[in-house]
Amino acid sequence: MTIKNAPRSSGFTLVELVMVIILIGVLSALGVGLFAGRSAFSPLLATQQLASASLLAQQAALAGNEASGFTVTQGPDDFVFTVGPGTSSERQFRIGRNGTSFSVAGATLPISFDDLGRPDTAGNVLFTFSGESTYQTCLSSLGAVYAGSCQP
């Protein structure tokens, strides 16, 4: 009688499993560091929300909607972006401040748009969000919203 070779079982060795666990631990430690300091992203998020709020108000003005203006207020913990302040179509959006500050140059808030989509300002308006980094958004006198400082 002949004895056949027992079938070889397949699977991972202990060394391979330990290496995978170590690799996952290192990657998760690095990943937590990237997302733990969210305050670095706060000025960028606030700038993007500002652009969205101003474009929403501009579109409302072009459509003849009463919510044709927007304002930004800085609270102790968050920024409040309000489109159509004081109207029945008012909408608010909030973003945590996380140490970020806000300033406006060239106008006073709220800003409204006319039926051609132009802001009611005398010139360009520069919005600046500062924290660990600084981001600027310009609202031109013609109604264009773009990242960066205002061009003369």
Read off the pLDDT of residues 77-126 as tens digits, 9 standing for 90 and up.
899 999 999 999 899 989 888 888 899 999 999 999 999 999 999 899 99
Q: Which residue has the higher pLDDT, 106 or 4?
A: 106
β-strand partners of 74: 79
pLDDT score at 2: 61
**CA proximity to 100, closest of 49, 54, 140:** 49
Q: How does the average pLDDT of the chain come out, rounded?
A: 85
> Looking at this protein, which amino acid is placed at residue 56?
L
Round to whole Å and give the CA distance between 119 and 150: 15
Asked whether the predicted pLDDT for residue 35 surpasses 90, the reply is: no
In words, the CATH class of domain 20-147 is alpha beta
Asked whether the predicted pLDDT for residue 138 surpasses 70, the reply is: yes
Q: Is the pTM of this model over 0.75?
A: no
- pLDDT-derived band of residue 4, with 50, 70 and 90 as boundaries? low
Q: Which long-range contacts (CB under 8 A, 24 or more apart) does 141-145 make?
A: 142/118, 143/58, 143/113, 143/116, 143/117, 143/118, 143/119, 145/51, 145/54, 145/55, 145/58
